[in-house]
A = this chain, B = another copy of it.
Amino acid sequence: MGAADRDLEFHADRVGEVTDDEYVAVTQETFVGHAIDEFRDFEPVSDETTVYYLYVTDNAGRLVGVMSLRELLNAPEDDVVEDHMVTDLFTIDAGADPEYAAAEIADRDFPALPVVDRDGVLVGVLRTDDMLEVVEEEATEDILKSAGFSFADVEQSRSSAILESSIPRILRLRLPWLIVALAGGLLAGGVIEVYEETLEAVVALAFFVPVIMDMGGNVGTQASTIFVRGLALGQIDDRNAMRYFAREGFIGLLIGLIIGSIGGGAAYFWQRNEPYALELAMVVFVGLVSVCVVASVVGYVIPWIMNKLGYDPAAASDPLITTVKDVTALLIYFWLAAVLLQELL
């Protein structure tokens, strides 16, 4: 049987691009016996193409029914297909997003589904086995993009190609985002410089910079993952995006209160012999709460805006999220430190 020749070398943005045109269709007045002959005569281009549905259209080409080959075999040969076809149709819109379509049809047991245009005219067949490849590719792309591989190139690369690419190509895939992250990191460092005097007075403030950055990074990644995945699978749309956003912000606050309490407690215990231990613990607490809330909010909002502007939300959001949450959280942390610890200055 061997592997099929067909290969999805392109990135499909619309269901129509993975639609197969190898199918058998007849009009509704066709006799069952004639429809069976159509199947016998049908010569698929590829040996492996299995075509086991008969699609029934009206004279304008609009899909009106479907029959499986088994149903066809069980029907009397001189009846017309209209009397036996199933009219409760499940169709896919040619303009639908393939990943969304895949999620929609994943729990249905059809090896192929008819694809129709906006007038209901049958334009082809979507084969579930082709969708498998699309989903695998899209999932890989989403994962690579959210790890900062430059998104224009990822679309052209097969995932296997990324492992085997030449070193210059790998660098071109990986470096752009890293350079943006470098700029963001230096900007965050600039915030610390603004509060250089405060830091000189209480060097211990520097000990909590890593934990604030780590927490923001993790919380932000969780929030953006929830948004990007929910969007890709069609669970988040315009109607409920605001509700999930409010929820995400509230969860960020709860996480911040829990993490902030633990972190603040640890800071107090660690620096308990210093005169400013209590103030420092409060600064760490507020810093951690702030970073969790800010990271949740920007982790959700930035991919959302990217998507609204027509960009891929899985790509190019993360360095922005990182920079915004780092700069905001470090500003709040050092500003509060400057206020609470000012008698030490």
Chain A residues engaging chain B, CB cutoff 8 angstroms: 1-4, 6-8, 36, 39-40, 42, 46, 48-52, 66, 68-70, 73-74, 86, 88-90, 102-103, 105-112, 127-133, 135-136, 139-140, 142-144, 146-149, 159-160, 162-163, 167, 170-171, 174-175, 177-179, 181-182, 184-186, 188-190, 192-193, 196, 199-200, 203-204, 206-215, 217-219, 221-222, 224-226, 229-230, 233, 235-236, 244, 250-251, 254-255, 258-259, 262-263, 266, 270, 319, 322, 326, 330
Residues of B within 8 A of A226 (CB): 147, 162-163
Residues of B within 8 A of A148 (CB): 218, 221-222
Q: Are A262 and B182 in contact (CB under 8 A)?
A: yes
Residues of B within 8 A of A88 (CB): 1-2
Q: A171 contacts which of B49, B225, B254 (Cβ < 8 Å)?
A: B254
Q: Are A105 and B132 in contact (CB under 8 A)?
A: yes
CA distance A89 to B110 in the complex (A): 23
Q: Are B222 and A207 in contact (CB under 8 A)?
A: no
Q: Are A103 and B170 in contact (CB under 8 A)?
A: no
Q: Which 3 A-B pairs have the closest CB atoms?
A: A185-B211, A111-B111, A139-B139
Residues of B within 8 A of A74 (CB): 40
**Besides A102-B136, A107-B133, A139-B143, 10 other A-B contacts (C-beta < 8 A):** A2-B88, A42-B70, A50-B70, A147-B225, A170-B251, A182-B215, A185-B212, A188-B211, A193-B207, A206-B209
Q: A111 contacts which of B128, B209, B224 (Cβ < 8 Å)?
A: B128
CB proximity of A21 to chain B, nearest CB, Å: 14
Residues of B within 8 A of A244 (CB): 163
Q: List 14 A-B contacts (CB under 8 A).
A: A1-B108, A36-B73, A39-B73, A108-B129, A109-B130, A131-B132, A160-B233, A160-B235, A175-B258, A178-B259, A185-B211, A185-B212, A192-B209, A206-B206
